[in-house]
Structure 1
Amino acid sequence: MQRSGELVQWNNKGGFGFVRDEAGHDYYVHISKLAPDQGRPRLGDTLNFEIAKGRNGRPAAVNVRVSASAPIAAPTMRDVKRMPDGVSRFKLGLRTGAATIMTLLILWAIGTGQAPVWLGGIYALMGAASALLYRFDKLYALNGSWRVSETNLHVVDLFGGIIGGLSAQEVYRHKTVKPRFVAMTWTIALLHTLGLAALAFGWLGAAVPGF
């Protein structure tokens, strides 16, 4: 006899949970009892199933099919800032350190007259633009929709957005795992750090008109 109910508990790693029928009875359900063409169910899904005796002798759901999927909740800021797997807080903290060093070098260069004020403005504007792009890309990734290309992220960082880009990577826990992307990010950060250091200590003063 076919029954219908809502999946009220689900352990995705273990592949088991409980489905509650219309009478309020809960039945154990295992991933192996779903039809072969069915993916893993989610909490709130409506399941069609039959009842059979389980391993412990209690009634369990068998011949399970997902008849209606639960709506996917929009990602929250908690999801956006969730720590990615395999990334330590120490590695992320290096990004804040690098962004802080570059910010101090800019302030030092402006304060000592080695750089014009507008240079700080460019870094601030491009940094804000980069941070927004990383934020949107993380939200798009969670929604499974259109993404900001990695090339665009690198271009904005290269042209002054690196401080905001590094900060956004840490705040949003985003783009911190893929080796090629990480390597390019640190290459851009190193170029800006060396350039700002040379500017702050007067090594580029004579070579850059107007500085």
Structure 2
Amino acid sequence: MKLKGKIISWNDDKGFGFVEPKGGGERAFVHVKAFTSRSRRPVNGDQIIYELVYEKNNQYKAENIKFTSQATNQSLKLQSNNTRHNKNENSVAGKFTFIFFLTLCLLVLFGVLPITVLGIYLLMSVLTFCFYAIDKSAAKNGRWRTAESTLHLLSLTGGWPGAYLAQKKLRHKSIKKTFQRVFWLTVWINILILIWLQTELGTYLLNDLIINRLNA
């Protein structure tokens, strides 16, 4: 368990002293070798974070000691690294979504895919964005929520670009890791289906069984 305290009775020549825990409790023996960083020597009044260890002689000692300022700086650095990492991930995901739609448009333009496919993706993306917005509003106001399986089904059936846009613009479902894993699975399934549609069987099913029925 991590505790906070203040160094007292520090003897710099011998390299030891005691720590008085914040809020009261057992004071503990502090040795200079127990500090995780040797950037400077401790002095009386230093605020530290430490682990309390019980000794066999009915005394306590402090281990894994950090200066409070050092722990704060490490925490800020970690937060900064996490923020930078998230920005990089968002940038890559955003470019990926843009490239997907650009590729889809080019495939339609050159006649590789019928325009109906692009229309389905646009329609499903708008619909999916609306479902995310409704669920976001329901979460804020304590109303009945949309099931995550429904959101994933919408992504799977072509609405994943709208889902991605909603996650970033509405800040909804963008942090939950389990949800994100399933979401990106639906994205890759979409890509694999588009690749499969270029095969002979895929083209037949798309043109003869789906497009013709939609146009009938």
- After TM superposition, the score normalised by the length of structure 2 is 0.51
Larger radius of gyration: 2
In the TM superposition, what is the alpha-carbon distance from 1:127 to its structure 2 partner? 0.4
Which segments of 5 or more consecutive residues in structure 2 lack a partner in the other structure? 1-81, 209-216
In the TM superposition, what is the alpha-carbon distance from 1:181 to its structure 2 partner? 0.8
Quote the Cα distance in structure 2 between the aligned partners of 1:197 and 1:105.
12
Aligned counterparts, 1:147-166, within 5 A: 147-166=145-164
Pick closer, same or farther for the CA change 1:133–1:93 going to 2, 3 Å.
farther
Aligned counterparts, 1:11-160, within 5 A: 88-160=86-158
Quote the Cα distance in structure 2 between the aligned partners of 1:187 and 1:144.
29
Query: Counterpart of 1:186?
Result: 184
Quote the Cα distance in structure 2 between the aligned partners of 1:205 and 1:103.
23
Query: Could you say what the CA RMSD is over the residues aligned between the two structures, in angstroms?
Result: 2.1
* Identity among equivalent pairs (%): 28
In the TM superposition, what is the alpha-carbon distance from 1:205 to its structure 2 partner? 5.4
Query: Counterpart of 1:173?
Result: 171
Q: May I ask how many residue pairs the two structures share in their alignment?
A: 123
Which segments of 5 or more consecutive residues in structure 1 lack a partner in the other structure? 1-85
In the TM superposition, what is the alpha-carbon distance from 1:99 to its structure 2 partner? 1.9
Residue of 199, 204, 208 corresponding to 1:204: 199
In the TM superposition, what is the alpha-carbon distance from 1:168 to its structure 2 partner? 1.0
- After TM superposition, the score normalised by the length of structure 1 is 0.52
Q: Is the 8 A contact 2:196 2:202 kept in 1?
A: no
Pick closer, same or farther for the CA change 1:194–1:98 going to 2, 3 Å.
farther
Quote the Cα distance in structure 2 between the aligned partners of 1:198 and 1:207.
6
Quote the Cα distance in structure 1 between the aligned partners of 2:122 and 2:200.
22
Pick closer, same or farther for the CA change 1:196–1:89 going to 2, 3 Å.
same
Quote the Cα distance in structure 2 between the aligned partners of 1:154 and 1:207.
23
Higher relative contact order (CA 8 A, sep 6+): 1
- Runs of 4+, deviation exceeding 6 Å: none
Pick closer, same or farther for the CA change 1:105–1:198 going to 2, 3 Å.
farther
Quote the Cα distance in structure 2 between the aligned partners of 1:167 and 1:94.
14
